[in-house]
A and B are shown apart, each in its own frame.
Chain A
Amino acid sequence: MPGSGHFKTSFPQDMAVFDTPFRRLWLIILLLGLVAFPFFAPRYFIHLGNLVLLASIAALMLNLLTGYTGMISLGHAAFLAAGAFTVAALVINFKPPPPFWLTVPAAGAVGAILGLLASLPALRLRAVYLILSTVSIHYIVTLTVSLYQSNAGFISGINIPTATLGPLKLENSRTWFYFLLVVTVVVTIFSINLVRSRIGRAWMAIRDKDIAAAALGVNVAFYKILAFTFTSSVTAMAGALGAYYLNYAAAEEFTIWLGIFYIAMIIVGGIGSILGSFFGAAIITLMPYLLDGLFQSINVPPRLQTYVFAIQFAAFGLLIALFLLLEPDGLVAIWRKVRTYFEMWPLKYHRPPSSTR
């Protein structure tokens, strides 16, 4: 932060992922908090935590695709569905069901293939056109999935057995929390370094101006395909984990609204920001529960009880719209402002170094 009291005196310092003492401090507090969380939190809260972690992985992937490569996708739910139903198909077609460590990578492979196919329109399309192509991909995938479900004779979802990983049996929400926490941390660190690497820089170059990127020798087609394939693969694996966690996969879960909620997550959180993906995933996942809790605590008269769902729905829409109207760069922008304020204190404005501008 130019102008603040913190200076970097070496190149490794400048390249460090968590560069300021302020960030390191917060990171340590956050990690300790997360590790301690299942010990004192009630089971319901741990369950919510798990949902947030699952959403975070998928939201992070969408942010890599949309925020870093600039390809807006409303078809994210399709990849989650593909992952969940790969697991479901493997589980009902093989006796005994294939193990957890085999089905999840299989889901990843299916997601990668699907992502590859989905990326083909992206080679020609941009902006609104790309959004609509992902919408149509979503409908095609979810139709396939729901036809599969009904043809296999399941009316409302396919049951999925408890996951075991070696000696570890993932059956209660506390074990799942730690497992998902580790997965999330691994995916996050991988993503942070990915966007700092050649690949990430190529993605950002494409996002900012694909023609300029191509002129600089970035293979635009390759990196677009890579972005779609990679993020879809991880998303499908997240979908598979979600199916294992909930012990079922139901085609009805994966509506277009789910895809919209994921886009809402990264935008509310902060598009093109890894930290923002977590903010967004937490807010959007928890918002219905928060509103629910709020309504329970204020004792809604019974006459209005039937409207609670409608009120929640409206409040949700209002919050999304308000967020974007007041802070189009998302929660992470508020966070940055707060951070800048503290780092720059007591100075008011920060001025770029040298004579630029």
Chain B
Amino acid sequence: MAQFFSNTLVLVALYALLGSGFVIVYRSSRVLNFAHGELMMLGGYFAFVLASPTDGNMWIAVPIALFFSFAAGAAIYFLAMYRMVGQPLHAAIIVTIGLSILLRGIATLVWGGDLRYLTAAFNVKNSPHTMPWGAKLATFDLAIIAAAAFYLLFLFLFFQRSKLGFRMRAAAEAPLLASQRGINIYFLFALSWSLATFGASLGGILYGANNFLTPEIGVVGLAAFAVPLVGGMDSLKGVIPGAVMVGFSQNIAMRYFDPKFASVAPMILLLIVLLTRPWGLWGTKEEIERV
């Protein structure tokens, strides 16, 4: 049982990393990013590519990969989403869908469909450690949990302690007015995409180290949709409980019912939340009225 809880905790941490990215992008531009899972995949491959030029030194390769992801987020914003400010919501969402297909295709093209192991590329061991409570967790399991904790802490501080927080909310609510008030909305939106991509690729690198990389791992992103919704689309606070609920529902379904239910359990959870408390557990109620 302790093992079950520990394994679920790892999944929860991964979902928290991904889910917070949805929230950041949604908060700044009201766009639901369907390419988020693919951005995670891309981060993993960035690290994979950097393994050989850095002689397999993880401590150099991973920060560079993360920096690239940060830049890639802004690049995607300026190449694709830039023109979508204020366009109907559906158009922007479909652009992200197109992006996700494109990124997947490019990844298959460049790296092929084979499984790639980041542990092998960096020649590190993902050895198990026995926890005080008796469960066994691998090195990168612990790394995912630590990364999620640090990333979320950073985001909290960033949004609470900086004027950018208000400005992002203002720009999301009325881009034109924000712009007329001298706020450079394009910069803010690009920043939010960068932050989100950064978190996603952190998740992707650790997922790739823990498991493997294929161009298909982006589907994890689809299940992660449920996270921000359960917690509240515009609420960073809600990400953690959202991730906990989604992670547990998925693992419980897998363990006690059919494994086929595993991908559907978060969706059923999502539907229940949507029907009973559509603005999410921690979201603002005005949010749902306004969209």
Contact among B95, B102, B288 for A314, CB-based, below 8 A: B102
B262-283 CB contacts (< 8 Å) to partner A? 263-264, 267-268, 270-271, 274-275, 278
CB neighbours (8 Å) of B220 from chain A are none
Bound together, the chains give a CA A135 to CA B275 distance in angstroms of: 14
- Interface residue? A66 (CB, 8 A): yes
| CB–CB B93/A125 < 8 A | no
- B interface SS class: helix
Q: How far is it, in angstroms, between the C-alpha of A328 and the C-alpha of B91 when the chains are bound?
A: 6
**Are B32's CB and A131's CB within 8 A?**
yes
B97 contact from A124, A128, A310, A320, Cβ within 8 A: A320
Query: For the complex, is B134 an interface residue (Cβ under 8 Å from A)?
Result: no
Contacts of B291 in A (CB 8 A): 126-129
CA distance A7 to B278 in the complex (A): 50
**Across the interface, do B263 and A139 meet the contact criterion of CB distance under 8 Å?**
yes
Given A143-B260, A313-B104, A314-B109, do A128 and B274 touch, yes or no (CB 8 Å)? no
- CA distance in complex: A147, B260 (Å): 9
Pair B268/A136 contact, Cβ less than 8 Å: yes
Confirm or deny: A121 has a beta carbon within 8 angstroms of a beta carbon on chain B. yes
Are B229 and A132 interface neighbours, CB within 8 A? Answer: yes
Q: How large is the interface on B (under 10, 10 to 19, 20 to 34, 35 or more residues)?
A: 35 or more
Given the known interface contacts A131-B93, A133-B271, A139-B264, the answer about A125 and B98 at a Cβ–Cβ threshold of 8 Å is no
Please determine whether A311 and B233 come into contact, CB atoms closer than 8 angstroms: no
A147 vs B222: C-alpha distance when bound (angstroms): 21
- Residues B216-242 near A (CB distance < 8 A): 222, 225-226, 229, 233
A314-B105, A325-B83 given; A125·B288 CB < 8 A: yes
Q: Does B135 contact A (CB under 8 A)?
A: no
Contacts of B84 on A, CB cut-off 8 Å?
324-325, 328
Contact (Cβ within 8 A) A324 B91: yes
Q: Which of A108-116, A163-171, A173-181, A263-271 contacts B (4 or more CB under 8 A)?
A: A263-271
CB atoms of B267 and A316 under 8 A apart = no
Please encode chain B, from 70 to 105, with 1 for each CB lying within 8 Å of some chain A CB and 0 for all others.
Answer: 000000000010011001111101110111111111
Report the contact-size class of chain A (Cβ under 8 Å from the partner): 35 or more
Q: List 30 A-B contacts (CB under 8 A).
A: A72-B93, A121-B271, A124-B274, A127-B89, A127-B291, A128-B233, A129-B229, A129-B291, A131-B93, A132-B226, A133-B275, A135-B267, A136-B226, A136-B270, A136-B274, A137-B271, A147-B260, A264-B98, A267-B90, A310-B105, A310-B108, A311-B109, A313-B108, A314-B102, A314-B106, A314-B109, A318-B102, A325-B84, A325-B95, A328-B83
- Flag B191-232 by CB within 8 Å of A: 1 or 0 each: 000000000000000000000000000000010011001000
**With A256-B222, A263-B90: A316-B264 Cβ-Cβ less than 8 Å:** no
Does A315 lie at the interface of the complex (its beta carbon under 8 Å from any beta carbon of B)? Answer: yes
Let me know if A124 and B90 touch, CB within 8 A: no
